[in-house]
């Protein structure tokens, strides 16, 4: 799939295989492209799975922060992946936003908490349930802490310690 394609991609950066070694950037890039399991960053999945991979800013920022700050993967890996798949991808905007999210700019310490953000912007979990099929049956506030449901959702264990 190339930049500008209108077809929805089958994966997102939040979809990883359980055997993923996060230190191997090429492996991460390949896993993100071919994964079938969703690991506990469902708030990012919901945003990235939204409309035709024109990712809402909040979801893109959460994905960038998770990849760069939590998994310690270089920002260029995520920037390349997003630029390849976004229907509205712009090189300058994409690269600078990923650099900013990675902390290479003037506010390097900023780290977002995805579960807190999803509770703030999707308090009932309706958006996440609608966009992430694995969460359709999650009741109440469980949608905001999906790592507690990993066995019930047939998902691998979290890659990192949940928030």
Torsion sign (Cα): 162, 107, 84, 121? positive
Helices (H) then strands (E): counts for the chain: 7, 0
Is the CA virtual torsion 35, 102, 64, 153 positive or negative?
A: positive
Q: Give 38-51 pLDDT, tens digit per residue.
A: 344 444 555 555 54
Domains of the chain, residue spans: 25-149
Cα separations (Å) of 56 from 43, 90, 95, 126? Answer: 12, 14, 16, 16
What is d(CA 114, CA 160) in angstroms, rounded to the nearest whole number? 13
Looking at residue 122, its pLDDT comes to 84
Alpha-carbon gap, residue 115 to 108, rounded angstroms: 21
Q: How far is CA 156 from the centre of its chain?
A: 16
Q: Tens digit of pLDDT for each residue in 66-114?
A: 888 877 888 998 888 777 777 777 888 888 888 888 888 666 677 777 7
In this prediction, residue 96 carries a pLDDT of: 87
Per CATH, the number for 25-149 is: 1.10.579.10
Q: Looking at mean pLDDT, say which of 2-6, 100-104, 147-151 comes out highest.
A: 100-104
The answer to whether the beta carbons of residues 117 and 58 sit under 8 Å apart is yes
DSSP bridge pairs for 30:
none
């Amino acid at each position: 799939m190339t930049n500008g394609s209108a077809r929805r991609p089958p994966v997102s950066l939040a979809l990883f295989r359980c055997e993923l070694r996060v230190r191997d950037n090429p492996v991460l890039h390949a896993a993100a492209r071919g994964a079938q399991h969703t690991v506990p960053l469902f708030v990012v999945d919901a945003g990235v799975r939204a409309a035709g991979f024109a990712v809402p800013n909040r979801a893109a920022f959460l994905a960038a922060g998770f990849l760069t700050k939590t998994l310690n993967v270089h920002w260029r890996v995520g920037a390349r992946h997003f630029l390849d798949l976004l229907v509205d991808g712009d090189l300058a905007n994409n690269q600078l936003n990923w650099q900013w999210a990675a902390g290479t700019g003037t506010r390097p310490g900023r780290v977002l908490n995805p579960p807190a953000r999803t509770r703030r912007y999707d308090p009932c979990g309706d958006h996440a349930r609608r966009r992430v099929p694995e969460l359709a049956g999650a009741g109440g506030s469980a949608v905001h802490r999906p790592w507690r449901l990993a066995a019930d959702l047939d998902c691998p264990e979290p890659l990192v310690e949940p928030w």
